[in-house]
């Protein structure tokens, strides 16, 4: 006689019973990344990522909006902050910065979840893609990138290089080449952010 408990398959195809754990963590039905990782806008970055931001950047998170956190859900009613990014308004555009991922928490994830997240591009890429979609009303989103690994993630997420060694952009509007050039000049003149 078969067990009447509900079942699902974890990201690597193992059949699990409701409440069954793997690696001492209850595995949610995680066939899609959005079932275990969500990006949410928050108002108080210090509350969510103060220590993580200080570890990554040596100071407190900015006090100006907009703040986004990446939350991992290993089980119902349990959340762990996995990453952070913030955006500052610049004219009718946004400046993206402060991208940081909690590698210590990432290493604690069950292997099936790490595999699913990696196959989806990773925490940083998901964080950027999800926030780009939420800020798509702005004609452009800028990043000032000096780290090679961060540059790779930014390129995968949708940023493109422009006429500056560290400045990258996501164009959300179909702008003329002249309008793009003007906006690039203004972003360069703003300086590092």
Give the tens place of pLDDT for each residue, 11-36: 444 454 444 444 443 333 334 899 99
Which CATH number goes with the domain that contains 147?
A: 3.40.630.30
Query: Is 86 inside any structural domain?
Result: yes
Specify the pTM: 0.82
Geometric angle at alpha carbon 17, from 12 and 23, rounded to 5° = 55
Query: Is 73 inside any structural domain?
Result: yes
Q: What percent of the chain has pLDDT over 70?
A: 84
Query: Is 183 inside any structural domain?
Result: yes
What number is the average pLDDT over the span 132-137? 98
Query: Is 135 inside any structural domain?
Result: yes
What is the structure's pLDDT at 28?
35
Boundaries of domain holding 162: 7-190
How many domains in the chain?
Answer: 1
Query: Is 96 inside any structural domain?
Result: yes
Query: Is 1 inside any structural domain?
Result: no
Would you call the peptide bond into 167 cis, given omega within 30 degrees of 0 as the criterion? no
Crossing angle for the helix pair 123-134 and 148-157, to the nearest 10 degrees: 50
What is the structure's pLDDT at 32?
80
Backbone dihedral region for residue 184 (phi beyond 0: left; psi -120 to 50: alpha; all else: beta): alpha
pLDDT tens for 141-151 read 999 999 999 99
Mean pLDDT of the chain: 87
In this prediction, residue 163 has a pLDDT band, given cuts at 50, 70 and 90, of confident
pLDDT tens for 81-92 read 999 999 999 999
Query: Is 77 inside any structural domain?
Result: yes
Q: Please check whether residue 31 is in contact with residue 80, taking contact to mean a CB–CB distance below 8 angstroms.
A: no
Residue 138 DSSP symbol:
S
What does each C-alpha distance from 185 to 68, 104, 123, 164 come to in angstroms?
27, 39, 31, 9
pLDDT tens for 86-120 read 999 999 999 999 999 999 999 999 999 999 999 99
Query: Is 2 inside any structural domain?
Result: no
What is the structure's pLDDT at 172?
97
What is the structure's pLDDT at 153?
96
């Amino acid at each position: 006689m078969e067990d009447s408990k509900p079942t699902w398959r974890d990201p690597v195809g193992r059949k699990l019973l409701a409440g069954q754990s793997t690696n001492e963590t209850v595995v949610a039905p995680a066939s899609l990344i959005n079932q275990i990782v969500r990006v949410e806008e928050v108002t108080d970055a210090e509350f969510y990522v103060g220590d993580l931001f200080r570890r990554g950047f040596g100071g407190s998170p900015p006090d100006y909006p907009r703040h986004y956190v990446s939350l991992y859900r290993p089980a119902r009613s349990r959340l762990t902050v996995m990453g952070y990014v913030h955006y500052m308004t610049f004219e009718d555009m946004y400046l993206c910065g402060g991208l940081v991922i909690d590698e210590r928490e990432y290493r604690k994830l069950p292997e099936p979840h790490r595999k699913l997240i990696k196959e989806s591009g990773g925490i940083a890429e998901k964080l950027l893609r999800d926030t780009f979609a939420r800020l798509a009303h702005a004609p452009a989103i800028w990043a000032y990138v000096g780290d090679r690994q961060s540059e790779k993630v930014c390129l995968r997420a949708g940023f493109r290089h422009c006429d500056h060694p560290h400045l990258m952009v996501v164009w959300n509007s179909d702008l003329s080449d002249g309008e793009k050039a003007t906006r690039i000049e203004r972003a360069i003149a703003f300086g590092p952010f």
